[in-house]
C-alpha cells in the first residue's frame, strides 16, 4: 500500500482510524454529575506545574452517548478536576474510557486523552425490566468490575449557562522506542463548544435535577475510587451537537531548561 502525506501532513492509508478535522458529533447525550474531592486525592493525577484549583477541588463525572460521529456510535465516560496552570483555570482530564477503538485512538494520538476501552451502558430501565425516574449510567472494566455509577432524576428544564466552559487541559506523552523516557511530553489545551438541541417550543434540551454518583470497585489499574466525592454539587442531562478540532500546545516539558 502506498502512503502519502496529505491533509494535516500525516501519513494516511485506507486503514486510517480517523479522518482529518473537523470531527462532527451529532445528537450526543451528556449526563454530568458535579462533585468535590480533596486536593490531596486529585494531586497524584496531575503533572508537574499543574495544581488543584482549591481544596476541596471542583470535579465532574461525565457519561456521554454519541449515536452519530466520524467514529461511529460510542459511549465514553471520564472524570475531570478543576486545576490551575500558569494562572489559568482548566478542566484537567484525570481518567477516561470509551467502548469504540476509533475515538480511543483519535483521543490518545491527537490530544493525549487517557482513554481505555471499557464496558458501558445507560438507560432508564432497571435490572428487573421496570422503568424508573432515574437515568443511570455504568462503567465496567473488566466486565463485571463496576468502576463508576452515575444517576440523575430530572426536575427542571433550563437554558445553557451564559459563561463559557473552562478549556480542557490534557497531558500528551509518547514514549521513545525503548519505553524508557518520553519522546514527547506536552500540555494540550482543547476548546469545546456545544449547541443544545431545541424542543418544538424552542426550549433547550437541557435538564437539571437530583444526582447520584459512586466510584464502586477499588482498582489499582483504574483508581477512580481515590476520587470518591466529599459532596455532590449538581447534575444535568443535555442532548447536543458539537465538533472537535485541533488542540494547542501550551507547554513542552522536553523543552524545559
Residue-level pLDDT at 257: 61
Rounded CA-CA distance 167/188 in Å is: 10
The pLDDT tens digits of the residues spanning 197-210 come to 999 999 999 999 99
Q: Residue 163, class by beta-carbon neighbours within 10 Å (0-12 exposed, 13-18 middle, 19+ buried)?
A: exposed
Parts of the chain with a pLDDT under 70:
1-14, 257
pLDDT at 71: 95
pLDDT of residue 1: 38
What pLDDT, on the 0 to 100 scale, is given for residue 3? 41
Domains of the chain, residue spans: 22-169+188-246
CATH architecture of 22-169+188-246: Beta Barrel (2.40)
pLDDT of residue 125: 86
Q: What's the pLDDT at 12?
A: 59
* Cα distances (Å, whole numbers) of residue 238 to 41, 59, 160, 221, 255: 29, 18, 10, 31, 41
pLDDT value for 256: 87
Task: Collect all residues with Cβ–Cβ distance below 8 Å to 64 and sequence separation of at least 6.
Answer: 28, 29, 30, 31, 75, 76, 77
Looking at residue 251, its pLDDT comes to 98
Amino acid at each position: 500500500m502506498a502512503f502519502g502525506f496529505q491533509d494535516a501532513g500525516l501519513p494516511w492509508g485506507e486503514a486510517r482510524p480517523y479522518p482529518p478535522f473537523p470531527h462532527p458529533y451529532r445528537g450526543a447525550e451528556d449526563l454530568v454529575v458535579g462533585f468535590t474531592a480533596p486536593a490531596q486525592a486529585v494531586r497524584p493525577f496531575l503533572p508537574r506545574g499543574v495544581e488543584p484549583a482549591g481544596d476541596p477541588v471542583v470535579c465532574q463525572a461525565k457519561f456521554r452517548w454519541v449515536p452519530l460521529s466520524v467514529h461511529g456510535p460510542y459511549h465514553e465516560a471520564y472524570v475531570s478536576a478543576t486545576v490551575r496552570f500558569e494562572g489559568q483555570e482548566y478542566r484537567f482530564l484525570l481518567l477516561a474510557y470509551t467502548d469504540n477503538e476509533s475515538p480511543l485512538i483519535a483521543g490518545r494520538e491527537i490530544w493525549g486523552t487517557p482513554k481505555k476501552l471499557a464496558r458501558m451502558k445507560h438507560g432508564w430501565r432497571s435490572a428487573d425490566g421496570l422503568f424508573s425516574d432515574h437515568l443511570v449510567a455504568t462503567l465496567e472494566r473488566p466486565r463485571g468490575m463496576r468502576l463508576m455509577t452515575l444517576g440523575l432524576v430530572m426536575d427542571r428544564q433550563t437554558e445553557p449557562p451564559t459563561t463559557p466552559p473552562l478549556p480542557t487541559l490534557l497531558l500528551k506523552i509518547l514514549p521513545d522506542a525503548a519505553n524508557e523516557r518520553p519522546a514527547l511530553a506536552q500540555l494540550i489545551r482543547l476548546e469545546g463548544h456545544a449547541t443544545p438541541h431545541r424542543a418544538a417550543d424552542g426550549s433547550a434540551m437541557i435538564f437539571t435535577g437530583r444526582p447520584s454518583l459512586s466510584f464502586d470497585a477499588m482498582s489499582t489499574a483504574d483508581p477512580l475510587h481515590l476520587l470518591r466525592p466529599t459532596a455532590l454539587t449538581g447534575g444535568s442531562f443535555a442532548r447536543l451537537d458539537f465538533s472537535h478540532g485541533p488542540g494547542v500546545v501550551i507547554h513542552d516539558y522536553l523543552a524545559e531548561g
